Amino acid sequence: MGLALFVPFGGASPGLAQQTPPPAGFELGRQVQLGTPQSGLLTIQPDRLFSESLFGERIAQEIEAEGAVLTAENRNIEAELRAEEQDLTQRRSGMEPEAFRRLADAFDRKVQETRVTQDRKLREISQLNETAQREFFAASLPILEQIMRETGAGAILDHSTVFLSADAVDITDLAISRIDKVLGDGQDQDRSPDGQ
**Residue-wise DSSP of 124-145:** HHHHHHHHHHHHHHHHHHHHHH
Q: How far apart are CA 116 and CA 63, in angstroms?
A: 20
Q: What is the pLDDT of residues 141-194, one digit of tens each?
A: 999 999 999 988 889 999 988 887 766 789 999 999 999 999 999 887 644 434
Query: Residue 26 in contact with residue 32, Cβ under 8 Å?
Result: yes
Q: What is the pLDDT of residue 13?
A: 38
Mean pLDDT of the region 127-141: 95
Question: Which tens digits make up the pLDDT trace of 25-84?
Answer: 433 333 334 456 677 889 999 999 999 999 999 999 999 999 999 999 999 999 999 999
How large is the average pLDDT for residues 128-133? 94
Backbone angles phi, psi at 170, to 5 degrees: -80, 125
End-to-end CA distance of the chain: 37
Q: Tell me the mean pLDDT in the region 15-24.
A: 42
User: How confident is the model at residue 164, as a pLDDT?
Assistant: 79
Closest C-alpha among 129, 114, 149 to residue 56:
129
- According to the model, what pLDDT value does residue 35 have? 54
Tens-place pLDDT, residues 93-119: 888 999 999 999 999 999 999 999 999
pTM above 0.75, yes or no: no
Structure confidence at residue 21 (pLDDT)? 44
Residue 168 β-bridge partners:
41
**Cis amide leading into 6 (omega within 30):** yes
Given a cut of 50, whether residue 14 has pLDDT beyond it is no
